[in-house]
Amino acid sequence: MKRVLWMTVLLAWLSACTVLPVRPTVALYAPVLELAPASVSASVPWRLALARPIASGPLATPRILVRPSPDEIEIYPRAEWSEPAPGLVGNALMQAFEVNGRIGSLERSSAGLDHDFELTTELRDFQLELAGGPVAVVRIKANLIAQPRGVLVASRLFEARIPAAGQQVTDAVAALSDALAQTLPQVADWTVAEAQAQWRAGDVTAQ
């Protein structure tokens, strides 16, 4: 009798398992950047640390965003970036500096190593916009900070707008990749130029 009761309970449990909702499959995407090395290969004597970009609201998530209108934000269903957008852009920015090749001592701020400058960034836009588009929009605010004083010495807003082939998620990913590939080398070039000017002016002292 106990064995029959156990089998009945087991069958009931298995039946319950079959009616549970199945989680939809989520496709993960990562930008692929085509970056060209800097035309000037001379290395600089100072050290740079890259802080993880900051973002707020939907931009701080792994969701792939689309704006049907300026006052509306939606997400692509069953599709995400491989990690939250700030980390994704931070890794791409590190790649842009490595391809630039002029900074021999380049670390992340989280490494805790001594450095002469720190670059902080804020991700303000990273989405596909449909009004007048579709167009991929990337906006990044960059701040260059001299260490060890912690003084802001330069600041600039970078923006790229790249037309997308369509409105599908694959179109959005491709266009946003191209927008990053256009923006991030500009950030790297600007950082090198501004930090080098500060260094030559003697406003930064090696630690």
List of domains in the chain? 2-200 (3.40.50.10610)
Burial group, residue 47, by CB count within 10 angstroms (0-12, 13-18, 19+): buried
Q: What is the pLDDT of residues 81-139, one digit of tens each?
A: 999 999 999 999 999 999 988 888 899 888 777 889 999 999 999 999 999 889 999 99
- Helix, strand or coil, per DSSP, at residue 99: helix
Q: What is the pTM of this model?
A: 0.84
Residues paired with 126 in a beta bridge = 138
Percent helix, strand and coil across the chain, each to the nearest 5? 35, 35, 30
Q: What is the pLDDT of residues 14-59, one digit of tens each?
A: 444 545 566 678 999 999 988 877 666 678 999 999 999 999 999 9
Burial group, residue 94, by CB count within 10 angstroms (0-12, 13-18, 19+): middle
